[in-house]
Amino acid sequence: MDLSHHFSKQELALLYQEVLYTIRHRLGKPQPQHIADAQELCAYVQKAFGMDEEEHRAIARQVQELESPIFCLKATVKEAKGILGKDVSGFSDPYCLLGIESKSQEPAHPDNKRRLKAVVKDLIPEDQIHRTQVISQTLNPVWEETFILEFEDMETASFHLDMWDSDTVESVRHKLGELTDLHGLKRIFKDARKDKGQDDFLGNVVLRLKDLHCWDDQWYQLEPRTETYPNRGQCHLQFLLTHKKRATTCSRTQPSYTVHRHLLQQLVSHEILQHQAGSTAWDGELSPHASTVLYLHATQKDLSDFHQVMAQWLAYSKLYQSLEFNSSCLLHQITSIEYQWVQERLRPEQKAELAESFQSLLTYGVSLIRRYRIIFPLSVASSTERLQSLLRVLVQMCKMKAFRELCTLSPDLPRMVSEALKSGTTEWFHMKKQHLQPMVKSMEENGKALAKLLLEVIGDLHQCQKVWNKFFIRILKLNLFSIAYLELESLVAGHVQEQLREVDTGMSKPTAESLFQLYLNLQELYRMKDFLPKRYQGFQAWTP
């Protein structure tokens, strides 16, 4: 089964261009669990997209001719702890200066020690230096400030951060109030950052960009320039290596999360179809190749966690409706969307797309429940787990703030499921009745067929009572056995009465025997009423 037909040939080619561009302009040291070799990744995506060698080479040439993106380091200065106290109060008023130096800090460099001790203003041009706010009177400052730092060469660039104690916060603010031109602004910053003056050096962090992963989040030791106070505390930094101005058609014309969703859809469908045990056994785990490509694409596009999970939900919920993998794979996205949901972060078209995906999955899921006897047969070991998973997914989805806000007209889930179970039971009964219809329309054969039908009904009700009922009661607070019994009781009563109208007093012995067996089966069916909750037991369609 090839799902590539969900995209036109042109759409697939543009998406393939996007993924080859992502691999070609990879940034950062590979994570241990990811695939490092670019050729290996290209071979994987060629297979996942179903591209022959000629198509692959043609699109690869296009990618080589496209302009490279602007490389960026998205650096977040989160906080620091245990820094030096430089004021008479025992605290400091810390701020940070940061930027990227184009020359790498290689250990073998003869001037390495001297350069590591140099401050930012001596290494980086003035207009490329970024500055955090001053946090007053603390040894554990919190900034949570993010800066976008552009660079050209991953191999030679390094990140520098200096932390300083400001003793002139008020005077600087006063000077800023009198600022009249850009030259005056530079003079103020120069005064605040000068090596010998009122601001005291608290420590620095120097990192080669090629030593960073695509995404890093950790504490770094603040290094001294002298050995007087070697322990200067730690600084918590977060890094993301991203692109700006990607030259691919997809990146230029479509929202990032839409492109990512399409890529997800193509790779995940390939992963599911490669699963040896079949789609229903697939548990959502992606190969290292697929995980690497999706990770690189999301980080290079600087896709937020929320929009990543949005793309995952839209892709997975759509794929579930054609491949029917284990629906438990959808629970992660439901949980993440619920946790991060803020409606204002979505544009109107995104809200409409999300609402449509909820409605589509709800309709499809209820249709599977209506046909649960066929879709989840007890002869297949995983059926009970799969049905339970689907029920949980639908319940959790309908509880979501996003669902309630976007799907205000959606009916009550238990009521929808109850109606589906009733109609599904009726469909199943008529299907069985049709299947057991005798070839020869004699009273004797009709009696045998009726007895067999009763056995099928009794067997189904035993399964409802012993297996399925506990799941529906626990997850949906619905008594499946009651729904099925009352529906089947009414259907059986009508069918038996219709058949018995044709019986005359001159019946043969075989006919009498078949009708006696029918009578016994009807008795067994009637005795099953004892399993109904008391509120249903007063209802009686017939009595054998």
Q: What is the pLDDT of residues 303-353, one digit of tens each?
A: 998 999 999 999 899 988 887 778 888 998 999 998 888 877 788 888 999
Domain boundary (204, 219, 244) is at 244
Q: What is the pLDDT of residue 151?
A: 93
Residue 415 lies in a domain: no
On whether the CB atoms of residues 280 and 324 are closer than 8 A, the answer is: yes
Higher pLDDT, 161 or 520: 161
Domain boundary (227, 244, 261) is at 244
On whether the CB atoms of residues 393 and 403 are closer than 8 A, the answer is: no
User: How much is the mean pLDDT over the chain?
Assistant: 84
Which domain does 194 fall in, by range? Answer: 71-103+116-244
Residue 349 lies in a domain: no
Residue 341 lies in a domain: no
Number of domains in the chain: 2
Between CA 371 and CA 431 the distance in angstroms is 12
Q: What is the pLDDT of residue 1?
A: 40
Higher pLDDT, 117 or 263: 263
Residues contacting 321, CB < 8 A, separation 6+: 360, 361, 364
Residue 254 lies in a domain: no
Residue 135 lies in a domain: yes
Q: What is the pLDDT of residue 319?
A: 87
Residue 272 lies in a domain: no
Q: What is the pLDDT of residue 292?
A: 96
Q: How far is CA 234 from the centre of its chain?
A: 33
DSSP state of 209: G
Residue 130 lies in a domain: yes
Higher pLDDT, 173 or 141: 141
Domain boundary (222, 244, 266) is at 244
Give φ, ψ of 151 to 5 degrees.
-150, 165
On whether the CB atoms of residues 206 and 54 are closer than 8 A, the answer is: no
Residue 127 lies in a domain: yes
Give the pLDDT confidence of 500-518 residue by residue, as tens digits.
666 554 455 565 455 555 5
Give the pLDDT confidence of 257-303 residue by residue, as tens digits.
899 999 999 999 898 888 755 666 677 788 999 999 999 999 999 99
What is the CATH classification number for the domain harbouring 124? Answer: 2.60.40.150
